[in-house]
Amino acid sequence: MYNLANKEVTCYWFDESNAGLTASVFISCIIDCFKKTLLKKCMPIILYSDGCTAQNRNVYLSNALLQLSMEKNIVIEQKFLEKGHTQMECDAVHSSIEQKLKNQEIFLPSQFATLSKQARPQKPYLVEYLDYSFFDDFSDKNSFMYDSIRPGRSVNDPTVTDIRALQYNPSGVIKYKLNFEEDY
């Protein structure tokens, strides 16, 4: 997670014995990072996401972000990068970590976390090495306020992949944009 406001980076590391690649795993990391940021200063959040529906553009994350918005009484915006325009600051983070890992012998998964801390010497990345107890299950549909984030319901109506931005409001309302230039 790359904070554009202060250039602080938090890297979440875990191995497959502690978690899989489910939406809840990624949501746990996002919510943890936001809660820590909001402890310092409670302010609106803008999250830039790629269009991956399994990780970022789904009802599980939307309900979790809405819940956080309501809990902290803040507006959270989630903007989706368009295909072909998905380069983000976190890509440089991945690159610097990959450079640090070159020609290194790795014997334990935890070594990835240690080397990540060293990848940016001037302002080291914050690194969280996670175990199974960190992750929450965000897939319980009984706790959902929305059972879908699809803007349309009929054939030829917009689908989830047509959404360009979502706005989560403390009132419990999720608004959407299908075009960046339009209003929510």
Q: Tell me the pLDDT tens digit for each residue of 9-45.
A: 999 999 989 999 999 999 999 999 999 999 998 999 9
**Mean pLDDT value of segment 156-171:** 96
Is the sign of the CA dihedral 77, 24, 34, 116 positive or negative? negative
Residue 10 has phi, psi (to 5 degrees) of -115, 125
Please tell me the predicted confidence (pLDDT) of residue 11.
96
Q: Are strands 174-177 and 76-80 parallel, antiparallel or unpaired?
A: unpaired
Whether 84 has a pLDDT exceeding 70, the answer reads: no
Express as a percent the part of the chain with pLDDT over 70: 98
Please tell me the predicted confidence (pLDDT) of residue 82.
81
Whether 92 has a pLDDT exceeding 90, the answer reads: no
Please tell me the predicted confidence (pLDDT) of residue 91.
80
Whether 164 has a pLDDT exceeding 80, the answer reads: yes
Q: CB of 79 within 8 A of CB of 46? A: yes
**Mean pLDDT value of segment 105-125:** 92
Burial-class residue 14 by CB neighbours within 10 Å (0-12, 13-18, 19+).
buried
Q: CB of 100 within 8 A of CB of 116? A: yes
Percent helix / strand / coil, the chain, rounded to 5: 35, 15, 50
What's the chain's average pLDDT? 93
Cα separations (Å) of 65 from 95, 129, 138? 28, 23, 11
Please tell me the predicted confidence (pLDDT) of residue 85.
60
